Amino acid sequence: MVDRNDRNFSQNEHTFIKETIKEPPINKKRIAEKLLLASACGIAFGVCAVFTVMLLYPRVFRNLDNSCDTKVAVTITPSEKKTDTEEKTSAADVSVLTEKTERTENTVQSRILEASKEPRKALVCVESLSEDTHFSDDSFLNNGDEEGIVFLKNDDAFYILTVSRNEKESEKYRVTFSNGSSADGILCKKDARTGFMVLRVPAESLDSADIKEIPAASLDLSGKIEQMQPVIAIGSPEGNYDSLVSGTVTSVSGRLETADEEYTLFSTDMVGSDEGDGVILNLEGKVIGVICQPENELSDVIRAVPVSQISSLLETLANRQKICYIGIQGLTISKVKSANLEIPRGIYVNSVEENSPAMTAGIQSGDIVHKLGNTEIVTMEEYSGKLQSIKVGTRTTIDVYRRNPSGEYVDVSLNISIKEK
């Protein structure tokens, strides 16, 4: 316990700790010296500024006034007038350029006209007629006109290729040649799959002058057709008789699938008609393709089948030989497709036609044909070639790969009878 006396003692004891802090006295002399120095510096700076302005004012403001008062003349200078020599030279240059352009255009046009001149003489118009006893004034009823071309000429007859859209064959045909002469045409044979038809006009039905005047078109069987190749379409590619259109090949990868056949279909940048007919020429005037517009095709560009791929068919039709028929539509399985899809090589069956030998034999969509008779088949070309070498009525075997329920392909051998299409 702390005694009150002790508390008082403590307060008295600490009174000596209190002290007073005094600020140092102001040095008026030092402050006066600083103010005097600052005033001197200001006066010196002002004197220098005034002197500088007085020295530079005349020159600066004189230039400023001059720059404001000076007007820059904007003049549109007219073109310098050329001398007579320069004008003549310039006119000559334009004339030469124009002449070269016209000469180039004329050269191209001339080349097209020259290349198509002889083949156009081989064009014909084919009228399909049927006898109708109900018409007393006219014993023939005209069923339609088709464009055709003489592709073969010998001492006995003229052979004409045309594409017929009529499912039923007419009883009589009238052929009108490019020189205006006409004669009756005899149907050799028609390929119902493609519509290609060959007519024969006996030489004895024409005058000797007509026989000499009417040529046969030259066929290019090399099969050389490339993109951007200049081509000419003659016949009625636009629907009008004896039309002439030129352009280039744009694609050679198209396909025309028919029963037991697969043709290449090349496209051009030429616009045609759905009902257009005719042939495609190269710049040498040789036939390289036959115009063939696929059904249900939305595009109106002109397409054609290479004549090199139907040359054997034309021989078959001209010789009235039978066309062997099985009835499958398929495509070739290439090495690349076989490897990528892990399927065997052969002919992939897209579809089987109704009431065909293929349907009767039991061939199914999705089968892969790899053997016909004793011949191994890899491409559609090999398949169709082997098929046409067999006689109609022959009974043979056709081997296919078929996928079983487990997903594996098994070899199935089927018996089939070859019929005529």
pLDDT tops 80 at residue 25? no
In a domain? residue 183: yes
CATH number, domain with residue 154 = 2.40.10.10
Say yes or no: 209 and 235 in one domain: no
Point out the domain boundary residue: 163, 186, 213: 213
Straight-line distance from the first to the last Cα atom of the chain, in angstroms, rounded to the nearest whole number: 139
pLDDT of residue 16: 44
Q: Do 297 and 337 share a domain, yes or no?
A: no
Say whether both 340 and 303 belong to one domain: no
Find out whether 129 and 172 touch, Cβ atoms under 8 Å.
yes
pLDDT of residue 8: 47
More confident residue, 288 or 166: 288
Q: Decide: 233 and 291 in contact? Cβ < 8 Å.
A: yes
Is the domain of 352 the same as that of 386?
yes
DSSP state of 356: S
Q: Which residue has the higher pLDDT, 143 or 105?
A: 105
pLDDT higher than threshold 90 for residue 37 = no
Tell me the pLDDT of the chain averaged across its residues: 81
Q: How confident is the model at residue 138 (pLDDT cuts 50, 70, 90)?
A: very low
Q: Are residues 345 and 391 in the same domain?
A: yes
- Whether the pLDDT of residue 258 is over 60: the answer is yes
With CA atoms as reference, report the closest residue to 147 among 170, 167, 120.
120
Average pLDDT (235-254) is 90
Which single residue is written with the structure tokens 């102001």? 26
Query: Is 27 inside a domain boundary?
Result: no
- The confidence score (pLDDT) of residue 174 equals 93
| Domain co-membership, 189 together with 250 | no
DSSP result, 289-314: EEE-PPTT----EEEEEEGGGSHHHH
Answer with the residue of higher pLDDT: 326 or 3: 326
CA 169 to mean position of chain CA atoms: 36
- Structural domain ending residue among the three candidates 213, 239, 261: 213
Whether 108 is covered by a domain: the verdict is: no
258 with 183, same domain: the answer is no
Same domain, 403 and 332: yes
Q: Does residue 238 carry a pLDDT above 90? A: no
Give the range with max mean pLDDT: 20-29, 207-216, 232-241: 207-216
- The stretch 73-94 carries a mean pLDDT of 49
The verdict on residue 196 lying in a domain is yes
Q: What pLDDT is recorded for position 421?
A: 84
Q: Output the pLDDT for position 202.
A: 95
Which pLDDT band, with edges at 50, 70 and 90, does 47 fall under? Answer: low
Pick 58 or 147 by higher pLDDT.
147
pLDDT at 142: 47
> Percent helix, strand, coil in the chain (nearest 5)?
30, 35, 35
Question: Which residue's structure tokens are 């049927």?
Answer: 130
Amino acid 383: pLDDT: 95
| Residue 7 confidence (pLDDT) above 70 | no
Of 165-169, 256-260, 351-355, 392-396, which gets the smallest average pLDDT?
165-169
Is residue 4 in a domain?
no
Q: Which range, of 30-39, 214-223, 286-295, averages the lowest pLDDT?
A: 30-39
Which phi and psi (to 5°) does residue 63 adopt?
-65, -40
Q: Is the per-residue pLDDT at 15 higher than 90? A: no
220, part of any domain: no
Q: Is 41 part of a structural domain of the chain?
A: no
Structure tokens at 166: 């009529």
Residues 6+ apart with CB under 8 A from 264: 252, 254, 255, 256, 305, 306, 309
Q: pLDDT, tens digit, for every residue of 174-190?
A: 999 999 999 999 999 99
Percent of the chain predicted with pLDDT > 90: 57
Distances (CA, A) of 244 to 81, 149, 151, 215, 240: 49, 14, 18, 18, 10
164 and 236 inside one domain: no
267 and 242: one domain?
yes
Section 51-59 average pLDDT: 59
Give me Rg for the CA atoms of the chain. Answer: 50
CB atoms closer than 10 angstroms to residue 17: 6
The dihedral sign for the CA sequence 122, 125, 130, 135: negative
For 323-373, how does the pLDDT look when each residue is reduced to its tens digit (9 = 90+)? 999 999 999 999 999 999 999 999 999 999 999 999 999 999 999 999 999
Whole-number pLDDT of residue 49: 65
For range 130-159, the mean pLDDT: 69
Statement: residue 160 has pLDDT above 60: yes
Residue 143 located in a structural domain: yes
Measure the CA–CA gap between 146 and 160, rounded to whole angstroms.
11
Whole-number Å distance between alpha carbons of 377 and 332: 10
Q: How many CB atoms lie within 10 A of CB 82?
A: 12
- Specify the higher pLDDT residue, 279 or 103: 279
CATH code where residue 350 lies: 2.30.42.10
Domain around 159: 121-213
Lowest mean pLDDT of 122-136, 161-175, 186-200, 249-263, name the range: 122-136
How many domains is the chain partitioned into structurally?
3
pLDDT score recorded for residue 140: 38
Single out the residue in 148, 183, 213 at which a domain terminates.
Answer: 213
